[in-house]
Structure 1
Amino acid sequence: MSSRIAFVGMVVLLLLSTSCQESGCYKSQRNQILGKNEYNSKAYQEELYRLIKENPDVDYYFEFREEIFGQSYLVINAFGDAFCGKLCLMVPEEDATSITLKDSAEFQGAQLIGLRYKQHKTDYGSALVYDSVEYIVD
């Protein structure tokens, strides 16, 4: 009986420490560029993309969807080995997954497994464009 209580206590402690780690990540940001810039700035997004490309083991969690000048963006929390940040992905057209994420606030914090996006270069710079997600773990 006492071993079962100890096990449940350890699981609860692990879950609490994981959730605290997520929210505290941005407060303890060690990367100068990510720490000094707003998440939706060009410098921030370029630095975060660079870090993600260098680190193949990144976890993605849906934060929210926002519209800027009529363009839809998914804001995704990205957690790597030694960094975390808010990744802004432009949504080029409506698809089933992005509609689901838009219409349901319950997906906030859901893990996005197999998130795919690509860098699209234009005359005005580059943008990260949402491509697809294999599935959503809520």
Structure 2
Amino acid sequence: MSSRIAFVGMVILLLLSSCQESGCYKSQRNQILGKNEYNSKVYQEELYRLITESTDVDYYFEMREEIFGQSYLVINAYGDAFCGKLCLVIPEEDTTSVKLKDSAGSQGAQLIGLRYKKHKTDYGSALVYDSLEYIVD
């Protein structure tokens, strides 16, 4: 009887924890990442701070997005104590990022050797895609 109760408890716990995976559970504990939209300035600044303080970050392609005529790569960034959606401006002259399409075939692909730069603008700063070594599907 007690083993049945333990089993049911584990199943309920598993179901509850899987419901929290809709976003990024680690980042929900971060007040800034948990309460702001991923494409907001404050979210992007906090995520950039976490990335620069981390020794190991993995990047995975999520989608391409266009906002007010500007193209962006939306990248899932995973560190030891955080995860979030990094928005990188795609320069018009870039041809490598064309390989990353907003399709099921590219979504979730790991981006090895992703490089980007912080670029100052009249409206603040933006993260701009620089280069990529290769893509692992």
* TM-score bracket for the superposition, by shorter chain length: 0.7 to 0.9
In the TM superposition, 1:3-82 aligns within 5 A as: 23=21, 26-28=24-26, 29-82=28-81
Could you tell me how far apart the structure 1 residues matched to 2:102 and 2:93 are?
12
| TM-score, with structure 1 as normaliser | 0.79
SS at match of 2:135: strand
Give the alignment's TM-score, normalised by structure 2.
0.79
Report the structure number with the largest CA radius of gyration. 2
- Work out the CA distance in 2 between the residues paired with 1:34 and 1:104: 26
Question: Do the aligned partners of 2:62 and 2:74 also contact (CA within 8 Å) in 1?
Answer: yes
Rounded to whole Å, the distance in 1 between the matches of 2:60 and 2:94 is 19
The percentage of aligned residue pairs carrying the same residue is: 81
Shift of 1:100: 1.1
CA-CA distance at 1:96 after TM superposition: 3.2
Unaligned stretches of 5+ residues in structure 1 = 1-19
Question: How big is the alpha-carbon RMSD for the aligned residues of Structure 1 and Structure 2?
Answer: 1.7
Q: Deviations over 1:82-117 (max 9, x none)?
A: 000000000012433211113654110000000000
The AA in structure 1 aligned to 2:96 is T
Structure 1 runs of 4+ off > 4 angstroms? Answer: none
CA distance in 1, matches of 2:96, 2:33: 28
